[in-house]
Amino acid sequence: MEHIEFLRNLIIETPSKPGNFAKVATAIGRLEGDIGDIQTIKVGTLSTIRDISIQCVSEEHLMKIVEAINEIGNGIKVHAVTDDVLQAHEGGKIHMKGRTEIRSLGDLRRVYTPGVASVCELIKNDPEQANYFTGISNSVAIVTDGTAILGLGNIGPVAGMPVMEGKSLLFDQFAGISGIPILLDTSDPDQVVETVKNIHKGFGGILLEDIGSPHCFEIEERLRAELPIPVMHDDQHGTAVVTLASVLSACRETGIDPAKSVVGQIGLGAAGLAISRMLMAYGVKELRGLDRNEEALERLLNYGGTVADSLEDLMNTCDIVIATTGVAGLIKPEMVRKGQIILALSNPNAEIKPEDALAAGAAFAADGRLVNNILGFPGIFRGALNAQARSITYPMLIAAALAIVESTKPGDLVPHPLDAIVHQRVAAAVERVANDEKSN
């Protein structure tokens, strides 16, 4: 799941003696900081300077880590704290670039005037030719109203632009798709639907992104019904695909049959409801849900799920438990039933730490750090666009999840998100199902 991470880089000097960097890593680990990339800047006779990426939960947490490193002594010290995240966003992360260079008047005549007129005539007489002679069929609109940006909430579409640019980068790198951010200055479902309908002819698909609940449900349902191109709300179905893959990987590790298990879903927001629907579409016979919102519970009942009496009731009766509440520590160790699979997916702090769940008797436990939508949406849209599908269906999404599972090494929850082969397999699986659906 997408989440907020407080990332900073520390420039750290250590004496050039074995074991000194281990002391730094230990100090960071004791305070539950997460070390990312490490770059050696300088190796001297007496000391080594490294640029170390650190993931924290807050500025205060970071300062405690810096203080702990400086307190090691023996010449170990933090020289600077830098913000490589802001630097990476300077000027934006995307740029529209042509695929054809214009170096001569002949080039100009072919790609623009007068040659382009003949292509326009061709498409006018046969609109399907636009799939071959324009970039429409390889473009996806990334649409947001900015009402549910990561864990920041309703911060507006412009503040959400860095996320949309990030999605565009991922589309390009992992699926060769042109992702175009579309920022909407309205959250009214009627206006959102009408706007997307009015611009859809320029795109091969629509990715709805960071649109809040409950209006996200109406917007997606209406657009799916009214547009002839694939529409997917990533916070719902992208999350659900990767969660299904995670559940199946956990079941493979533990020998549990998901189809014969009772599954509990704690939290029925956009992600939680979509996960519930995905699991039932896969074949889970009994899914029990829990949420404080009565409308969310009604939605679950309409989709075929049942409502648990309480958190304790859900934990006591379910073989697989998934939590997407955003409430850290919600699940107490004494609630864990021996042999359960527990996926506490809220970030940055899970409903229960995996180590605590395992200590309490869970057969398998994980948090949301690895459950990242990046494993799903690029390949899903690549496959759908390749097949010229008119919609994204549950069989296509389940195929994507199974492709992720097939790419997961034993002992892992999901594959590495930067593994290009995973995205290729997801795309191929989705395309096969889409083509089968068209032929039936």
Rounded Cα distance between 171 and 134, Å, is 18
Task: Give the CB-side neighbour count of residue 144, counting CA atoms within 13 A.
Answer: 28
* DSSP letters spanning 50-66: EEEEEEESSHHHHHHHH
Q: Residue for token digits 């002949």? A: 106
Measure the CA–CA gap between 270 and 417, rounded to whole angstroms. 22
**Could you tell me the CA-to-CA distances from 29 to 33, 36, 56, 308, 334 in Å, in that order?**
5, 12, 11, 38, 27
CA 92 to chain centre: 20
CA–CA separation, 211 and 46 (whole Å):
54
Among the options 77, 93, 132, 167, which is catalytic? 167
Q: How far is CA 107 from CA 102, 104, 114, 116, in A?
A: 5, 5, 11, 11
C-alpha–C-alpha distance, residues 33 and 27, integer Å: 9
Report long-range pairs for 124-132 (Cβ below 8 Å, ≥24 apart): 131/388
Establish whether 201 is a catalytic residue: no
> What tokens appear for 85 in the block?
């995240």
Name the residue among 304, 313, 255 with its Cα closest to residue 284.
304
Question: Using the 8-state DSSP alphabet, how is residue 238 labeled?
Answer: I
Return the structure tokens found at 404.
């992720």
Kindly state the tokens that stand for 258.
Answer: 């998901």
Sheet of 231-233: strand order equals: 178-183, 139-144, 205-208, 231-233
Which has the closest alpha carbon to 230: 99, 102, 119, 392? 392
Q: How crowded is residue 244: how many other Cβ atoms within 10 Å of its Cβ?
A: 27
Q: Which of these is catalytic: 17, 112, 132, 260?
A: 112
167 is annotated as an active-site residue: yes
Is the CA virtual torsion 123, 127, 128, 131 positive or negative?
A: positive
Residues forming the active site? 112, 167
